[in-house]
Every structure is written in structure tokens, then in C-alpha cells.
Amino acid sequence: SYMLTQPPSVSVAPGKTATITCGGNNIGSTSVHWYQQKPGLAPVLVIYFDTDRPSGVPERFSASNFGNTATLTISSVEAGDEADYYCQVWDSSRDHRGVFGGGTRLTV
């Protein structure tokens, strides 16, 4: 089955840029979506279709997807960005199923 690999943790100083990767075999050929989850709360969509931001998500959040790695970038990181971040794709190679990465804890 298709697997997505994320680093367990990323640390960044306030005002700096955080980069969170999501690795998968030829992930660039599929659409990647990103979610933010703060403690005790449900996940929230922050990026869809590789690069698009839902309304209300700051422009500081951006993403890319190429080759075997998708990347979420958060610029000018704020304390409020501290959360777990998950990448997600749909795997239709064998059967149609959702796949999440293991999640990355962003510490500010």
C-alpha cells in the first residue's frame, strides 16, 4: 500500500521559515493536501491540490509537490502555528483509499 513519510518533528524560531516534507513514491504525480491539528482540536485543511489555500488560511502557508517529495512551507512563523501537520493523498493504485502521513509536530 502507498505510504507517506513525514519527519516526526520540526523546530523553528518565531519569524523564521518552517519546512515540512512529505515523501512518497512519485508523489508529484498525485494531489497532496495538508492539515493542521492543534491539541484537542479536529484537523483543519490548510492546503489542497498541492498549492491552493482555503479562504482564511494566511498567505504565509504555501506548498509544492514535485518528484518524490511534497513540501509545506510556513513563512514568518508565529507561536500560533505550533501544531501537528499531516499530508494526505488518495491511493487509487490498487483500491481507492485515503492515506495520511504520520504527522509532523511543529514546535515554535
Partner 1 sequence: EAQLLESGGDLVQPGGSLRLSCAASGFSFSNYAMSWVRQAPGKGLEWVSAIRGSGDTTYYADSVKGRLFISRDNIENTLYLQMNSLRADDTALYYCAKEPVENPGWYFDLWGRGTLVTVSS
Interface residues with partner 1 (CB under 8 A) are 1, 31, 33, 35, 37, 41-45, 48-49, 54, 84, 86, 88, 90, 92, 95-103
Smallest distance from the beta carbon of 13 to partner 1, in angstroms? 25
Strand intervals (E) in 1-108: 9-11, 18-23, 33-37, 44-47, 61-66, 69-74, 83-91, 97-100, 104-107
Cβ proximity to partner 1, 62 vs 100, nearer residue: 100
Smallest distance from the beta carbon of 14 to partner 1, in angstroms? 26
Cβ proximity to partner 1, 27 vs 33, nearer residue: 33
Smallest distance from the beta carbon of 45 to partner 1, in angstroms? 6
Q: What are phi and psi of 79, to 5 degrees?
A: -60, -35
Cβ proximity to partner 1, 33 vs 72, nearer residue: 33
- 87 touches 72 (CB < 8 A): yes
Smallest distance from the beta carbon of 55 to partner 1, in angstroms? 11
Written as nine digits, the cell of 42 is 479536529
Cβ proximity to partner 1, 8 vs 13, nearer residue: 8
Give the Cα-Cα-Cα angle 30, 1, 106 (nearest 5 degrees).
65
Written as nine digits, the cell of 35 is 492539515
